[in-house]
Structure 1
Amino acid sequence: FGSRLKTFVHGSDPVILEVRFLFTSFNFSRTMSFEVGGDDAREIESFSTMVKDATVEVRKGFIRKVYSILTVQLLLTVIVAAPLTSMVSQSWLVANSWIMYLSLGMTMVTMCAMVCCQNLTRSFPTNYILLFVFTAFEGVCVGFVSAQYTWQSVVLALGMTVLIFLCMTIFAWKSKTDFTGFGPYLFAALMVLMVFGFVVSLLAMSGVQVYWAFMAYNLIGVIIFTFYIVYDTQLIIGEWGGHKHQFGIDDYVFAALNLYLDIINLFLFLLRLFGNRR
């Protein structure tokens, strides 16, 4: 069992769904609608200005800022992950796997800091520091995972991710359907996926052949995070696009982080689903 566990730890991909789980639960509680009055209504007034309450120019500025931050995050991820993907050997990855686990732990720490101390993520420059520290460590995790696959597989998964993201973004902008109310359902689906993944992991460590279950797990993950792109994009657009729920104007860091995690998780699931290991 010990040797199988070691093989599983070094031969499998770290699924960073715990980070997404934490942020999704926070996002779910923060983007619920508030149809109340009296004291509750007065208390809600203390919340940050919502996109729907802003002028058109402020809305446009919010969206530009979110996608600008997202672009920098993705570029930083590529810069950090590319050397690990193309320049190191498999033996080096195994010998230095502690770097990946340290990075995974740091992503959890920085995420908890952003979720538990929301005032920090709304104050410059602390919000940018936390965000890009998280992104850098996430890039290390992505690099370690990608290094286990051929470069053709990485390019294929990357191309598919870009194509899906662009198509879903256009769909979210053009669609007359409001998907911002689907948060609880996506949240439940993500929880089920995590439990399924945990069971598959235990079976793999026990020596049980779970290839098709693993493929089903990755396929479901692709579907869920594809829908998350639509969901989070419409939260960014807000009532400007006729949507009931939206991000606050001061939550541009959270909005960018949401989309970033959608893209990263989609890429990792696609890589595991279609990729060939070295």
Structure 2
Amino acid sequence: MEQEEFMNLIREKDGSMSIAFPKLMRKVYVWMTLALVITGFTAYGIATSPNLITAIVTNRLLFWGLIIAEFGLVIGLTSAINRLSLSSATLMFILFSVVNGATLSFIFMAYTMSSIANVFFITAGTFGVMAFIGYTTKTDLTSLGKILMMGLIGLIIATVVNVFFIKSSGFDLIVSYIGVAIFVGLTAYDSQKIKKMLMQCDDMSEGPQKIALLGALSLYLDFINLFLYLLRIFGKRN
């Protein structure tokens, strides 16, 4: 029996990973970490530049332009990933990290540096635990993922309603706790989903690497949202 057929037989029997799988998983977390670093430096750099932060805070057109650019980059990256080259997709991911950093620069004005740092480490620990659980658990989290996605839609609607109509700090706190629960669950779900997809990849060609890039984007968004909801709960305002 040839070696390739033997490896395929093993995977069919016990779900063993391909040789490319560990490398692809490393790429997921390298890209995610790189994006977080870029976002953090961008946010801090803008926050410490009076002219830039004033422009973002006072210019509604610029602020909403950044928000629209964020959504456009995410939608464009996920929907056109098959038509994009790996280098173009990576560039879009980096650009999204920069734009997201610009929109997040306001947190340095709203919260103390110490509380931002503390919440970041809380987020990192929580994220790490849930990612590990999602990666190692034998339980299929697909049904949980569907429930969490429906919960995310409800969370977005509740947030919009509170911002424009209710305007209640108590309701905002409730929404924040729900947000933490949703993104804690999504971290585990996305980790398992990424693992399953990459285990089907047998090489390091562009296709598998683009799957890894999208996985990094999913985990990056989970981390950022978890951080923001925890900051709303535990952050100390200036």
1:271 is aligned to 2:231: yes
SS of structure 1 residue aligned to 2:110 = coil
C-alpha spacing 1:91/1:76, structure 2 compared with 1 (3 Å): closer
Alpha-carbon separation, structure 2, partners of 1:58 and 1:204: 51
What is the 5 A alignment of 1:18-29? Answer: none
CA offsets per residue over residues 51-81 of structure 1, 9 Å max, x none? x999521111211111111111111111101
SS of structure 1 residue aligned to 2:19 = helix
Q: Equivalent residue for 2:66?
A: 103
Alpha-carbon separation, structure 2, partners of 1:68 and 1:193: 29
The runs of 5 or more residues in structure 2 that have no matched partner are: 1-13, 200-206
- Percent sequence identity is 26
Aligned length: 217
1:181 aligned to 122, 128, 143, which one? 143
1:115 aligned to 69, 78, 85, which one? 78
Q: Equivalent residue for 2:157?
A: 195
1:261 is aligned to 2:221: yes
Alpha-carbon separation, structure 2, partners of 1:212 and 1:120: 45
TM superposition shift of 1:271: 1.0
2:131 aligned to 163, 166, 169, which one? 169
The runs of 5 or more residues in structure 1 that have no matched partner are: 1-51, 242-246
SS of structure 1 residue aligned to 2:81 = coil
1:226 aligned to 146, 164, 184, which one? 184
What is the 5 A alignment of 1:1-278? Answer: 56-86=18-48, 88=50, 92=54, 94-96=57-59, 98-121=61-84, 123-204=85-166, 210-238=168-196, 250-278=210-238
SS of structure 1 residue aligned to 2:86 = coil
- 8 Å Cα contact 1:86-1:147 kept in structure 2: no
RMSD of the alignment, in Å? 2.7
Alpha-carbon separation, structure 2, partners of 1:119 and 1:184: 24
TM superposition shift of 1:159: 1.3
Q: TM-score, normalised by structure 1?
A: 0.70
Q: Equivalent residue for 1:46?
A: none
Alpha-carbon separation, structure 1, partners of 2:226 and 2:53: 27
SS of structure 2 residue aligned to 1:147 = helix
TM superposition shift of 1:183: 2.3
TM superposition shift of 1:249: 5.9
- 8 Å Cα contact 2:180-2:230 kept in structure 1: yes
TM superposition shift of 1:177: 1.7
Alpha-carbon separation, structure 2, partners of 1:195 and 1:217: 10
TM superposition shift of 1:125: 1.1
CA offsets per residue over residues 211-258 of structure 1, 9 Å max, x none? 2111000110011001111011111211788xxxxx966411211100
C-alpha spacing 1:250/1:80, structure 2 compared with 1 (3 Å): closer
TM superposition shift of 1:164: 0.5
More displaced stretch, 99-108 vs 255-264: 99-108
Alpha-carbon separation, structure 2, partners of 1:166 and 1:89: 36
Alpha-carbon separation, structure 1, partners of 2:166 and 2:52: 21
Instruction: Choose between structure 1 and 2: higher helix proportion.
Output: 2
CA offsets per residue over residues 130-153 of structure 1, 9 Å max, x none? 111111101111212343111122
